[in-house]
Amino acid sequence: MVQYMSPLDSAFSALSDPTRRAILERLGCGSATISELAEPTGMSLTGLKKHVQILEQAGLVTTEKRGRTRHCRLGPKRLEDAADWLEGYRRSWADRFDRMEDVIERKRGSR
Amino acid sequence: MVQYMSPLDSAFSALSDPTRRAILERLGCGSATISELAEPTGMSLTGLKKHVQILEQAGLVTTEKRGRTRHCRLGPKRLEDAADWLEGYRRSWADRFDRMEDVIERKRGSR
């Protein structure tokens, strides 16, 4: 079954794995080859490549083959949508607490 | 295979589905029963319950059975970890651009 994933679904799904978050953090410091990315994880190149593919499908990583080496760098998507969703969610929470405080304040005032 | 998921993994994984994000947004306005959550989605109660379970495992939702009705509300986890990770990632990006701007500025100055 091919399931449609929105960009936001793909972004959060890509972030749900510690190896993939580590790859993004590493690529934030500059581009790297698959071997360079695999080295600190102790993971096989095949295993690492699968994670890179998921990040690539989410637009978070771009890869380019030069000779026999695949070079990876951060892609066009900058996780703004994911950060915006979380920010909106936090803001609605804060608003709710503000409203609750208003109600408490009014109840105090009417005593 | 039982796979260990860190709280950060579970949070991002829980957020990777539009129905689950909609449940969180709805519960941000106040508690609701499974039927009330299912209604706007057109989803079966069984389908909806599965999503609620995933959110419950991630600590994002708490449920309580009263008689024959299950009531849901936001749980103890407030997605701070997920927001913090994204914020840290964005900050490291911003720092990198600042450093790049410094380099460009210095190159301009030495012309």
The closest alpha carbon to A22, from A38, A11, A33, A7, belongs to A38
What mean pLDDT comes out for the span B89-94?
78
| Inter-residue contact B33 to B107 (CB < 8 Å) | no
Please indicate whether, in this complex, the C-beta atoms of A89 and B9 are within 8 angstroms of each other.
no
Q: Which stretch, A3-12, A45-54, B1-10, B79-88, has highest mean pLDDT? A: A45-54
Question: What is the pTM for the complete model shown?
Answer: 0.82
Chain A residue with the nearest C-alpha to that of B82: A86
Is B8 close to A21, i.e. CB distance below 8 A?
yes
CA distance B91 to B81: 15
Q: Which of A55, A53, A49, A50 is nearest to A69 (CA)?
A: A49
Per-residue pLDDT band at B3 (split at 50, 70, 90): low
Residues 6+ apart with CB under 8 A from B3: none
For an interface test with B, which of A15, A77, A91 has the most B Cβ atoms less than 10 Å from its Cβ? A15
Q: What percent of chain A has pLDDT over 70?
A: 92
pLDDT in the model for residue A111: 64
Is B17's CB within 8 Å of A9's CB?
yes
Give B1's pLDDT tier (boundaries 50, 70, 90).
very low
Residue B71, beta-bridge partner list: B33, B64
Triad A13, B52, A4: Cα angle to 5°: 35
User: What whole-number distance in Å separates Cα of residue B45 and Cα of residue A83?
Assistant: 30
Edge-first strand order for the sheet with A61-66 is: A32-33, A69-74, A61-66
pLDDT at position B95 is: 72
Measured on CA atoms in the order A72, A73, A76, A77, is the torsion positive or negative? positive
Rounded Cα distance between B82 and B76, Å, is 14
Contact A86 B90 (CB under 8 A): no
Q: How many CB atoms lie within 10 A of CB A68?
A: 5
